[in-house]
Structure 1
Amino acid sequence: MITPQDIKEKTFEKALFGGYDMAAVDSFLEEISTDLALLQRENATLKGKMKVLVDKVEEYRGNEDALRMAVVSAQRIGNIIEREARDKADALVNDATAEAARITKDAQLEVEMEKARLDEAKRSSAQFVENMELLCNRQLSFLEKVGEMDFIKEHRANRIVEVVPEQADAPQAEAPVAVPYATDPGEIHETVKRIEETVAKAADEPVSDVRPNFAPAASADDEMPTRAFHIVTDPDDDVDKTTQFTFDGFEK
């Protein structure tokens, strides 16, 4: 490559005839060398700028690759996080659904058990009431039969009218009025209370066969001997062991 210095130092042989003007040639060569030097300087400047631009472009390309890799990595991480979050959400929903189903099933079983207990309690209560009605009816039947016996009637007759001798001799004494048996409220209350206690005791603790025998008194002058009676348990009673009374020993 020709440099400005080469142009300045270039010499030509002198021609004998028809040669160029040496001064004009030297002036032209000087101008060319000056322009060439300027062009070389500008070229060097442009090459330097181009190198800077190339370096920037390479830097930008490197940054672009880094950014592209960062974007790709961010997308991949985002996809992983989204997938994990979706899996966790699905797991939580499934666990919550299973737990809700289990709680609902347990609650339904508990409700069914409570209904069964309630039905059993109703059945037991109805059976108990039925047994108590049967027991009370038997006790009332027994009391009615006992009330028809001779010694009870005699006892009632003796209590209907009780005349005190000293009151009979007193002046203007009024004759006692016959009062039916068991009309005293206190006495009625005591009788009802004894019946209730007997019913409750018979319902709570069924008794086995008991057959008390009362022997007659030794003296013939005493009162009529008490007649023997038996308290037995009905073996055919499949509801409850209740007390029954027989009246074989009572003779009118």
Structure 2
Amino acid sequence: MPLTPLDIHNKEFGRRLRGYDEDEVNEFLDQVIKDYEALIRENKELQNQLLAMQEKLDHFANIEETLSKTIIVAQEAADEVKNNAKKEAQLIIKEAEKNADRIINEALAKSRKIALEVEELKKQASIYRARFRTLVEAQLELLGVESWEALESGARDKEDAALKVEHSHSM
């Protein structure tokens, strides 16, 4: 156990003949006590400062650890956001490709339908032209005939023929 200033103050020395000057020894011990008390106070202050510094160091170590964990969490979150964005982009691309395929297929189907309608219209135009040609030819024939009787009988025959042609095309 270390000496205390009180231990130094209460120290009694034995007396001898031709010993030290008692006042000088007491003065020296008083000086030692003062210096020792100052050293104890300084040591105590240094310990308090050391404790405060250790607390600050612990505080900063906690902040560093928290920041490190935060950075790791932020990096993980950024990676997750990046991965989710990639997945979403891929889904959007797939959906766009599906829509493009659907639009192309619909356009092809419409194109085929229009081509069929064009063919049907061409057939109907051909039929109409043939009927019209038959009618015009019949009319020209009638114009070429001079007598009214031939006109009347020929007109009936031509009308009957035209009706038959028209009737057969409409079926």
Q: In which range does the TM-score fall when normalised by the shorter chain?
A: 0.7 to 0.9
2:28 alignment counterpart: 28
Query: Could you tell me the TM-score, scaled by structure 1's length?
Result: 0.56
2:41 alignment counterpart: 41
Q: Is the Cα contact below 8 Å between 1:132 and 1:203 reproduced in 2? A: no
Trace 1:60-139 onto structure 2 (pairs within 5 A): 60-138=60-138
Query: Could you tell me the TM-score, scaled by structure 2's length?
Result: 0.79
Q: Answer with 33-42 or 79-88: which moved more.
A: 79-88
Q: Give the percent of matched residue pairs that are identical in Structure 1 and Structure 2.
A: 24
Q: Deviations over 1:165-206 (max 9, x none)?
A: xxxxxxxxxxxxxxxxxxxxxxxxxxxxx99xx59x727852
Alignment pair present for 1:12 and 2:13: yes
Evaluate the alpha carbon distance shift between residue 204 and residue 78 of structure 1 in structure 2; reply closer, same or farther with a 3 A threshold: farther
Name which structure has the greater RCO, CA cutoff 8 Å, separation 6+: 2
Q: RMSD of the alignment, in Å?
A: 3.0
| Secondary structure of 2:13's aligned partner | coil
* Structure 2 counterpart of 1:81, one-letter code: V
Evaluate the alpha carbon distance shift between residue 55 and residue 150 of structure 1 in structure 2; reply closer, same or farther with a 3 A threshold: closer
* Structure 2 counterpart of 1:5, one-letter code: L
How many residues get paired? Answer: 163
Give the structure with the larger helix fraction: 2
Query: Which ranges of structure 2 fall in alignment gaps of 5 or more residues?
Result: none
* Structure 2 counterpart of 1:28, one-letter code: F
Greater Cα radius of gyration, structure 1 or 2: 1
CA distance in 2, matches of 1:3, 1:116: 118
Evaluate the alpha carbon distance shift between residue 49 and residue 150 of structure 1 in structure 2; reply closer, same or farther with a 3 A threshold: closer
Query: Which ranges of structure 1 fall in alignment gaps of 5 or more residues?
Result: 154-193, 207-238, 242-252
Structure 1 segments, 4+ long, off by >6 Å, are none
* Structure 2 counterpart of 1:22, one-letter code: E
CA distance in 1, matches of 2:124, 2:109: 22
Give 1:123 deviation, angstroms.
2.8
Alignment pair present for 1:59 and 2:54: no
